[in-house]
Homo-oligomer: A and B are copies of this chain.
Amino acid sequence: REERITLAHGAGGKATHTLIEAVFLESFRNPMLEPLEDGAVADGLAFTTDSFVVTPLFFPGGDIGDLAVNGTVNDLAMCGARPRYLSAGFILEEGFPVADLRRIAASMAQAARTAGVWIVTGDTKVVQRGKADGCYVTTSGVGTLERPVRLSAAAARPGDAVLVSGPIGEHGITVMLARGELDIEADLRSDTAPLNALTDLLLDACEDGAVRCLRDATRGGVATIVNEIAGASQVAVVLDEDAVPVRPAVRGACELLGIDPLYVACEGRMVAVVAGEFADAALAALRSHPLGSEAAIIGRINDDPPGLVLLRTSFGGTRIVDLLVGDPLPRIC
Chain A residues with CB under 8 Å of chain B are 1-11, 16, 19-20, 23-24, 26-28, 30, 32-33, 39-40, 42-43, 45, 47-53, 85, 87-99, 101-102, 105-106, 108-109, 112, 118-128, 130-133, 136, 138, 140, 142, 144, 330-331, 333
Q: How far is the CB of A120 from chain B (nearest CB, A)?
A: 4
In Å, the complex CA distance between A95 and B129 comes to: 20
- Cβ–Cβ contact B89 & A91, under 8 A: no
- Cβ–Cβ contact B5 & A101, under 8 A: yes
In Å, the complex CA distance between A237 and B12 comes to: 51
In Å, the complex CA distance between A113 and B42 comes to: 18
The 4 closest A-B pairs by CB, nearest first: A10-B126, A140-B140, A40-B120, A49-B87
- Cβ–Cβ contact B53 & A125, under 8 A: yes
Shortest Cβ distance from A33 into B: residue = B120
For A330, the chain B residues whose CB sits under 8 A away are 126, 128
- Cβ–Cβ contact B142 & A105, under 8 A: no
For A96, the chain B residues whose CB sits under 8 A away are 4-5
In Å, the complex CA distance between A14 and B296 comes to: 53
For A40, the chain B residues whose CB sits under 8 A away are 85, 120-121
For A28, the chain B residues whose CB sits under 8 A away are 88, 105, 108-109, 112, 118-119, 122
Q: Which of B47, B101, B131 contacts A132 (CB 8 A)?
A: B131
The binding surface of chain A is classed by DSSP as: mixed
From known contacts A5-B98, A98-B1, A119-B30, infer whether A124 and B49 are also in contact, taking CB-CB under 8 Å: no
For A122, the chain B residues whose CB sits under 8 A away are 20, 24, 28, 33, 49
From known contacts A112-B28, A138-B138, infer whether A9 and B124 are also in contact, taking CB-CB under 8 Å: yes
- Cβ–Cβ contact A6 & B126, under 8 A: yes
Shortest Cβ distance from A65 into B: residue = B27
For A112, the chain B residues whose CB sits under 8 A away are 28
For A3, the chain B residues whose CB sits under 8 A away are 97-99
A-B contacts, 12 of them at CB < 8 A, read A3-B97, A4-B94, A19-B98, A20-B122, A23-B98, A28-B109, A32-B120, A33-B120, A48-B87, A49-B123, A51-B125, A127-B136
Q: How far is the CB of A143 from chain B (nearest CB, A)?
A: 11
In Å, the complex CA distance between A62 and B227 comes to: 39
For A2, the chain B residues whose CB sits under 8 A away are 98
For A51, the chain B residues whose CB sits under 8 A away are 89-91, 123, 125, 138
Q: Known contacts A3-B97, A48-B87, A131-B133; can you find 20 more A-B pairs with CB under 8 A?
A: A4-B95, A5-B93, A5-B97, A6-B126, A10-B125, A16-B124, A23-B101, A23-B102, A24-B122, A26-B105, A27-B102, A28-B108, A32-B118, A33-B119, A47-B121, A49-B88, A51-B123, A128-B331, A132-B132, A142-B142
For A101, the chain B residues whose CB sits under 8 A away are 5, 23
